[in-house]
Structure 1
């Protein structure tokens, strides 16, 4: 069930051209890959938690299976779904062999990652949106990397353990038993130097003086204690894009803050600033 690579040898994540990472984040991803343990990522919105899985899959050349969690999501859906409605319709109106139940078994994101012939990346996105029992319902499957389908009497077992990346916005506390099985990392909000590198990926032609003014205003807003919803990285990138399209200069930005609705998303914040 383990990867067949030699001891001490494993795929190493180093980031991509479009996803700038800190050394700490790169290291923890590589620890997760080497130890074959799920990586639980927390951080405020806009710090790139979800995009991390895409970057890891891209950099390591692995297929990506995404499972976006909602408040109504059940653990079973990630394993497989038995489409009884389709089978009933086929039995009434079709001419196929409905006794072959395998054709009505649809693997979920976990099932596809386990069933993959090559090592894959599995993203379980925003796990804390589901109910409290959801993480506990996945303990066995994430431990053993296998599950049983009673309808077809088949065990789906990973020949190579997928790279599992789980994101959380800390909306709910996760069970201790689940946390023990994960490697944890909190993505700190980027400092100005790292943020400049991130902005350069999206706006490579931005003049340095305007970049400095944008970052100064952006971090000034984030540090205001009365701001309820602090602007995130994605909002900064959108704001800079709006400024560039409107031809706003660094000198103008010293005197005013245009397009504040791109940065601030709550009425009380907009009224205040």
Structure 2
């Protein structure tokens, strides 16, 4: 299976296991800068040079060697599951993508038909009942993850533990796992520990939110989207994410983790 979703700097100074909706655009750009002293002109997900990616076959041997010998600092980044699934909904379901189309072609029309979701459109300034539609989307996300119907689960709402575990199961080990909610602090620790070609103060780096501005703004605080049923579904889907990455399930409005990630626990529980 190898190491899908893995990026490495050309200098092999650091390896990153991408977790969608967890600041991956900013992380990729900072990795690029740490080698080249400039940011990639465009969306880092589109870069085909300047940074090594597992999905480019010619890069796989180098990435695999660095992972297996643990010669590069290896890290990933996680996010509060409440905020992450909300971000997935507003970006991928309610938003318009960079190409001007809806995400995955017929996915949104299918959700409108099967689950009664509304998403609005730029013509009406994305006016729709956000809470009702999000809760219906959550049922859909649960169906894809639990029963893999009406489609396979999408990477943007698959559990973080699922993404992170593939790297461990196939022989990798993380040196650091930090929080999107404490991005500058966590990313700086990675840069300080890695032998980068170019030094960077993360506080000086712009944020690269490629999905921003293409859809509706969230109109309510986080807890208002989650009634008792929604929270039951969230626990069903993301129980391991809450437990391993130390987020507060009881208070959806508390986006901060309760403690640091225990790397030994993560490797023990996700490496089985």
Q: TM-score w.r.t. structure 2 length?
A: 0.25
Structure 1 or 2, whichever has the larger Rg, is: 1
| Greater per-residue strand proportion | 1
